[in-house]
Each structure stands twice: as C-alpha cells, then as structure tokens.
A = this chain, B = another copy of it.
Amino acid sequence: MVDILHRIAAERTAPAQAYEALTTLDGLAGWWTEQTTGSTRTGGVIAFRFKDDGFDMEVAELVPDERVVWEVVGGPDEWIGTRIRWELEADGDYTVVRFKHEGWREPVEFMHHCSTKWGVFLMSLKRLLEHGKGEPYPHDVHIDNWG
C-alpha cells in the first residue's frame, strides 16, 4: 500500500474556514470542481465531476475544525477503496492542512499524475482560503497531457 502525502498552510486563516471549504458543497466547488453535488454529512456521498468522469466519496469521519475523512466509493478502479484524509491544525496565523490519499495498491503511473494534480488542487484550496477565489475545474491548472 502506498500513499500520496501533501502539506499546505493558508495564512490569515482559521481552521474553521478550512473545515468549511472541505465540508460544504460551496466550499468544495470553490477549489476542486465546480461540479460538486451530494451530501457532505457523515455517511453521505459527495459526487465530484470533471466533465463526464469523477469520484464519489463517502464521508467517513468529521471532526469539526480538525479532521475530514472520505472513502472513495466510485471512480477509477485504482481509487476505489482508497481514503482521503485531511488534518487541520492552527499554527500561529496559519492553518496547516495535512493531506493523505492512502491505500493505493500499486504506485502506477496514474498515481504519479494524481499526486501532482492533488498538489495543484491543494494550492487552489490555499488560494481560496487566502484570497477568496480558487482554481477549481474547469479552471484548473494543467500539469501534463492527461489533464
């Protein structure tokens, strides 16, 4: 099992703001994909779409202002059963976001792509928190010939 790890921090941001960006449809649509629908409560399923494809995430755990865990229940084969874990922590004027996409079976080339693309979307989240506007799909930064 292999994991994708990332860490960003947003300045002049409280953990509650970051938590809101991860647990409301408006927040999620502000940095990941504008095509976000579903239920963001524990046990709910959030549908993230990128044109015709995308991911369905079951909300596995919510600890206000501290932790969000999603389990992937729909999407590419490589993603099914993996988990996305968000940990939030205040550090001075920053909120630190520790990210883990855990449980990949193999370090396939697609995982390399997803790692970089998560990085770009986390920078979009940082921008949303610091400047009020992210770069969600379809306005996302392209990293390679896959998107």
A residues at B contact (CB < 8 Å): 2-9, 11, 91-92, 94, 96, 98-100, 107, 109, 111-113, 115-116, 119-120, 122-123, 126, 141, 143-146
Contacts and interface: CB of A to CB of B under 8 A. Distances in A.
Number of copies: 2
B141 A123 contact: yes
Candidate in A96, A123, A141, A145 with the most chain B CB atoms within 10 angstroms: A145
Contacts of A107: 3, 5
Contacts of A122: 116, 143
Nearest to A104: B5
20 contacts: A4-B5, A5-B107, A5-B112, A6-B115, A7-B143, A7-B146, A8-B116, A8-B143, A9-B143, A9-B145, A11-B145, A91-B145, A98-B109, A98-B112, A100-B112, A115-B115, A119-B119, A120-B123, A122-B143, A123-B141
